[in-house]
Structure 1
């Protein structure tokens, strides 16, 4: 299988690429190496693949529809895994037009390029943020009235709606995977677990927004990648699926667990809860288990220990 992975130089994309290559697929990576965080880190992510004849890197923007179409036809791709997006809930509050442009118009560009070139298979990376503060926990995919509370979340939900339109009009086979707080080696440096581990290992204060009671469902990167691979195997029709971890804990509980695992304590600096942040995320995995056989395998404690070991090595 020849797969176009947009955003393939990022945290999730590089891990997914690694597994796809191991399974014998050809991977075409399209990434613009934007400056949301250090582009040099993304280049490091893909260094291990650059010598593989089954891997091709193209620097470019998903909003360039002709470029995407040329890649799909020129490399005879049969599937697209669309990860490329402007990330980050909090920054989206201050740059909503950018997030709509990249995440909505960029997705439309990819869908149109697929339509033009006859590619009908798509896995779209969505986000648990689409649920917002919707009542009813854990979140189920069949809940109506999702209530996104940030431009980022709204842009991801809009991308899902566009994808459904292309499924209805052109019979695309599409899975929208709603990802729940992915962590692990290569995690973006501004994300909470990266920040907390760095603070503990360097004995510098860590910042917590709110009183520490915010709850997140953390998913180890290996489980997330497994979810993509299982969705790829069962790619038929249209479906939205939660891809999350087995447990949800508060920020305060997370910090306590990290202190245990690192043997360090730290000083916490509290700041007001940020606009756009949701109070709770938890994934109901029943549908993903039934449809694609998804079961998270890495407990939070084990995943955090793996991340800490990796972080120590890279320092």
Structure 2
């Protein structure tokens, strides 16, 4: 039996029209919840606070959310079908931002079951909840890694995604397909957002910028995969959240220009569904990213050069033209500014 919901919440609501944010104690979920609260929304947050990385960091994010009267929290696993069904039945959130998932490409190589439970079964409970309440809009996180073996840059939502390189990417492709099925059968408007290498304050400890900063400050070598030749579309978290919130406000319909004889993969003519890229729209060499970090820290990194790992993509770059047209999306934070903001947060949070 699911634990009664009354035992799971942390703060009462102030609005009758809440936004449900899953993964609200996670990196992007926390920033998104903060942005929604700042504009006067009531937010219901869901997060299982697992120990994939330091739970104390998740709790610190959550504590900031709990201090705001418009936030109510449920510690709940997305794969808990009874618990999620009860939450939807109690609050009937008609706007949903689904950011909760098991992240990490390298972790998925050795722990595929975790990704199926969280990212596939967990997404199914969200879709079923959206169906039950006749949701106005479901916005969900996908990833740039769905492009997999594709090497045609920049990556466009008009390109196919049939060749994932890891289980994490495969679960996100499954999410996009599942959302289209629910949009078609039940008429639930769905927007999938493919995030490109997000970084910034309150970031995840398993991501490169966090690991590099900690190691350099401690005088330890940093592991540089692909001999530093890898290129990424590094995207500052505020730019990502701009796109998430804009997407929530822009409910998709059926694409009148879509043709079944030559179906474009980014929109649909039979369902209110679309896929958009959220990235900086430019790629930077990993070596340049490290150079900026060294400049901000005032210290040189000790490099431990390693081969590219299984499941990793060599280069990413987002074509954000569709996002610009649909949302007015305009990422504007260069990496020297974004990296400095992260380092300032890191020094303050850890007292370095």
Under a length normalisation based on structure 2, what TM-score does the superposition of the two structures give?
0.87
Helix, strand or coil for the counterpart of 1:211?
helix
Greater Rg by CA: 2
Runs of 4+ in 1 over 6 A off after TM superposition: none
> Is contact 2:92-2:133 (8 Å) kept?
no
Find the counterpart in structure 1 of residue 248 from structure 2: 232
* Residue number in structure 1 paired with 2:159: 143
Name the structure 2 match of 1:168.
184
- Asked whether 1:278 is paired with 2:313, we answer yes
TM-superposed deviation, 1:120: 4.0
Distance 1:97 1:280 in 2: 27
Offset at residue 278 of structure 1 (A) = 0.5
Aligned equivalents of 1:11 and 1:84: distance in 2?
A: 10
1:287-302 matches, cutoff 5 A: 287-302=322-337
Offset at residue 145 of structure 1 (A): 4.1
Cα distance in 2 for residues equivalent to 1:65 and 1:115: 14
Contact 2:161 2:173 in 1 (8 A): no
1:80-139 C-alpha deviation (Å, 9 max, x unpaired): 111111111011011112212211111111111221232242001000010012131000
Structure 2 CA distance, aligned partners of 1:145 and 1:14? 29
| Pairing of 1:148-227 with structure 2 (within 5 A) | 148-227=164-243
Per the alignment, in what secondary structure is the counterpart of residue 241 of structure 1? strand
3-state SS, counterpart of residue 21 of structure 2: strand
Q: Does 1:249 align with 2:279?
A: no
Distance 1:125 1:58, change over 3 A: same
Q: Which shifted more, 269-278 or 62-71? A: 62-71
Q: Give the aligned partner of residue 65 of structure 1.
A: 81
Q: Which residue of the partner structure matches residue 64 of structure 2? A: 48
Matched, 1:35 2:51: yes
Paired residue for 1:87?
103
* Distance (Å, rounded) in 2 between the aligned partners of 1:306 and 1:246: 20
Q: Which moved more, 1:193-202 or 1:217-226?
A: 193-202
Does the Cα contact within 8 Å between 1:65 and 1:110 map onto a contact in 2?
no
* Count of matched residue pairs: 315
Aligned partner of residue 269 in structure 1, secondary structure: strand
1:8-60 deviation per Cα after TM superposition (whole angstroms, max 9, x unaligned) = 11111111111100111110011111110011211100212213332110011
Alpha-carbon shift at residue 246 of structure 1 (Å):
3.8
Question: What's 2:114 paired with?
Answer: 98
Task: Give 5+ residue unaligned stretches, structure 1.
Answer: none
Q: 1:267 to 1:50 in 2, by over 3 A?
A: same
1:259 to 294, 301, 311: 294
Decide whether the 8 Å contact of 2:281 with 2:319 is kept in 1: no
Structure 2 unaligned spans of 5+? 1-16, 253-271
3-state SS of paired residue (1:188): coil
